Amino acid sequence: MAYALAVQDLAKYKLKNGAILVVKHRDDTEAVSLQVWFKVGSIEENYQQKGMAHFLEHMLFNGSEKYPYGEIDRLVEGMGGMMNAATSKEYTFYYITVAKPYWKSALEILYQLTQKPLLSEDMVEKEKPIVIEELRRGKDDPINLLWEEFEKLVYKASPYRYPIIGYEETISKFTRESLLEFFHNYYQPQNMVIVVVGDVEPSEVKSFVEETFGKEVGKPVKRTQYVPEPEQLENRFKEIKDKRLERAYWIIGWRVMPVAVKDYYALLVLDQILGNGRTSIFYKELVEKGLIYSVSSGDFARPRDNIFVISASFDPSRYKEVKERVMQILQELPQTLTDEEVQKAKQRIINSEVFALERAQREAYHIGYSLTVVGLLDYYLYFESNIRSVRKKDVLNVLEKYILTKPYSEILMVPEK
Amino acid sequence: MSVFLIIFLLFSLAYGGTKLKEVNLENGVKLIIKETKGRGIVAGSIFIKSGTHGEEKRGTTNLMARLLIKGTKTFGSYDIASAFEDWGGSIEASTADDYIYLTFSTRPEGLEQGLRVIESILLEPTFPEEQLQVEKRRVIANIRSRREDGFELAMERLRLITYRGTSYEVAPEGREEDVEKVEREDLIKRWQQVLKGKNIVVAVVGDMPLEELEKRLRTVFSKLPPGEFNLKAEDKPIRESLVERVQREGAQATILCAFEGVSLNSPDFFALRVLNNILGDGMTSKLFSELREKRGYAYATYSAFPIRLYSPRVFTYIGTSPDKKENALKDLLWVVQEAEITNEDLELAKKKIIGAYLLDRQTRGRQAFQLGFWEIMGFGYKMDQEYVKHIENVRLEDVLRVRENLKKAHQCVVVEP
């Protein structure tokens, strides 16, 4: 054990093999959330590997040394637990939420699942049509296509431009060997964060983790060189026509600062003011005045080449008017924004965290994301104080620096009649 | 002790609690109040038994509910949202087939203002004309956009077939041609018709002393008008099998089928909950293992047994490639009607149901919803605690008996490119 840090009932340990364990003790819930995070997502893939991070996530459920195929599902469901996993562009994580008495069994399952998978050839072949169906399901959804196209428009060099799911031609060529190589590099202690939130004793969790995950050998991760996205110098626009559509969908986005840097929190306050909830400016000015049907805004919380987007749906004939009004709202904000509005927005963000953390799994996610993607537990630990310290001038600086003076990318999807 | 009893006892300590109270007001309104301990959250659900039953113009109730939070004699739309969002919470109003519901969440410090707003929403809504026009356009756009999505389109068609002639035949949003004709007078009339004490259940769960909650809720809800809005029973059995095909461009075919369920007061109700789980809920379910894992037809396939007052149905879904759709349909029917069901399947399904039910109640908002839901659907709020016992008592012979219902006939919609 290298070191332990204890803040707010939270214990952070670094195991000898490099794995990080965080245990957050909570006695207000009988549910325990257990999550295992790996810093690997689709941006690590070379062209032949497109879709592999996600495919591997599927494969881990297909049998491990201790539990044959199907056994884990039966065990977790037999404890009344919930198990799933998700792959993003930056991370992959596996989780089980279960009642308190079963946390050890659940952790043992997560250990076998993530560290001892069989990845057998016949299961690789079994999984291919399933993942290809998942891909086609995505293609069947015009909104999913719209977001894929939007990222292709924003990113010209960065691997963020590729879809997580990959392509039929890459998926169909995956083999046991290619998956094993990918697995051995990324699914090991030095690339791993284990998070447990619930009414559990941190030292007991630590001992159990040392006996399982702690036995694995850690080694440096060979990372794919990330190709940064060059500065965007011009506005970009793309229009797509789709026969299935009944209304227009629009996304406009700007390149912004990475997640968790100093001025990032001002962006969150700006986002709250502009597009979050029924009290937001966009809701009041665009939805309630009948110009658009729906609106949302937010950033992608990426550690590099992050983007902030506004998306809306409306009648296709109103595109020009919508864009003009959105731009007008943004341009007028420096004159109209009051200190009170900033104060209220900050309070709303801070208060809504209380609701978000009601579920143990939500808190575990916040911790896992902080350590795996942001690389700092501080993002989780000091989130509230960082929001509290934002001033009106910080919000306006961010608006000026990243949005009003910078080029944007926009995509418009309209019905093809 | 059985696994589910352990889980149940534990969760009831945390989520059940002993401080639960029922209050029957003179006007017929029922209050269900529960005291919890935590970081300071109060959440509630106000149910009005009505839904779309007895609507003259389809979609009136939905529009009315949406407009409830758009303005009252005392508060504007922004003030209504702000009373909850300032505390990090929210307020929503919508309509399901059998009830209207308002859900809210706030911090204990915000409850006083929140209840002032709720009182005004219930007693003096203005249904502003300008907002009605905006909402009509939004609803019509929503109705049209259902055709963008294969599943939504299939469900719209299946409702027309399986619930023909009943109020469920059209989703609560209504029909385009009707929504266009809805006027402000219709909303006022409908509100007067359904806002009757005996139709109203209010469930509130919060980190506040029970007595204080009761006092505050009594003050507000005693002011509601007494009386009852009666719903007309309208059961529509499935008589003949039928498969309807609908053309839509896309990458996948969507298959959605309906089977005859059992009514809420049938002794077999809980057996059908279990059967539905065996067939189509989770990774160990029959649909998942037979159609996805063994045959590779799909990424997603599942079943559902939504709780409605009349015309009970079990629905099954699979999204598959166009070339697999005929086999997928044939095998889906085989799984539902013929695939072997063992005692092991039964025991696992019970644990799944109980685990998911309890984990779902981690938030006060979900606890309040669940308490109110059981009451409004006629089971009584105590079903919240008794549900586990009912599920546990289901035997294999009950499941096999209730399955005979699903064998009688099926109605399917296949949306195909």
DSSP string, A137-199: HHHT-HHHHHHHHHHHHH-SSSGGGS-TT--HHHHTT--HHHHHHHHHHHSSGGGEEEEEEES
- The predicted pLDDT at position A29 comes to 84
Please tell me the distance in Å from A294's CA to the nearest CA on chain B.
8
Give the per-residue pLDDT at B54: 95
CATH topology of domain B18-221: Cytochrome Bc1 Complex; Chain A, domain 1 (3.30.830)
Residue A9 pLDDT: 85
Domain residues of chain A, as ranges? Answer: 4-215, 236-415
- The pLDDT of residue B12 is 53
What is the fold, at CATH topology level, of the domain defined by A4-215? Cytochrome Bc1 Complex; Chain A, domain 1 (3.30.830)
A236-415: CATH topology is Cytochrome Bc1 Complex; Chain A, domain 1 (3.30.830)
pLDDT of residue B147: 86
Every domain of chain B with CATH number 3.30.830.10 lies at 18-221, 242-416
Which of B291-305, B353-367, B377-391 shows the lowest mean pLDDT across its residues?
B353-367
Task: Give the model confidence (pLDDT) of B189-212 as tens digits.
Answer: 999 999 999 999 999 999 999 999
- Matching CATH topology for A4-215 and A236-415? yes
Q: pLDDT band at residue B231, thresholds of 50, 70 and 90?
A: very high
* pLDDT cut 70: percent of chain A above it: 98
Residue B148 to residue A246, Cβ atoms within 8 A: yes
Nearest to A358 among B13, B41, B359 (CB): B41
- pLDDT at B256 exceeding the cut of 80: yes
The two counts, helices (H) then strands (E), for chain A are 16, 12
What confidence score (pLDDT) does residue B154 get?
A: 97
Which of A100, A244, A353 comes nearest B250 by C-beta?
A244
pLDDT for residue B97 is more than 80: yes
A2 or B130, which is more confident: B130
Note whether B283 contacts A: Cβ–Cβ < 8 A. yes
| B5 near A CB under 8 A | no
Coil, strand or helix at A412: strand
Q: How confident is the model at residue B358 (pLDDT cuts 50, 70, 90)?
A: confident
> Which DSSP category does A24 fall into?
E
Q: Is A113 in CB contact (< 8 Å) with chain B?
A: no
Select from A99, A101, A134 the Cβ nearest to the Cβ of B299. A134
* Token pair for A115: 């560290």
Q: How far apart are CA B63 and CA B174, in angstroms?
A: 9
List chain A residues with pLDDT less than 50: 1-6
* A359/chain B closest Cα distance in angstroms: 6
| DSSP code, position B48 | E
The reported pLDDT for the residue numbered A8 is: 67
- CATH homologous superfamily of B242-416 equals Metalloenzyme, LuxS/M16 peptidase-like (3.30.830.10)
Whether residue A82 and residue B77 make contact (CB cut-off 8 A), yes or no, is: no
Predicted confidence band of residue B39 (pLDDT cuts 50, 70, 90): confident
Burial A346-380 (b: 16+ CB within 10 A, else e): bbbbebbbbbebbbbbbbbbbbbbbbbbbeebebb
Q: Which of A354, A356, A360 is nearest to A81 (CA)?
A: A360
Structure tokens at A108: 């043992």
Tell me if chain A has a CB within 8 Å of the CB of B145: yes
Q: What is the pLDDT of residue B14?
A: 47
Instruction: Show Cβ contacts of residue B296 under 8 Å, excluding neighbours closer than 6 positions.
Output: A126, A128, A129, A130, A133
Pairing status of strand A192-198 against strand A20-25? parallel
- DSSP letter at A371 equals I
Interchain contact A81–B (C-beta under 8 A): yes
What is residue B411's predicted lDDT score, i.e. its pLDDT?
98
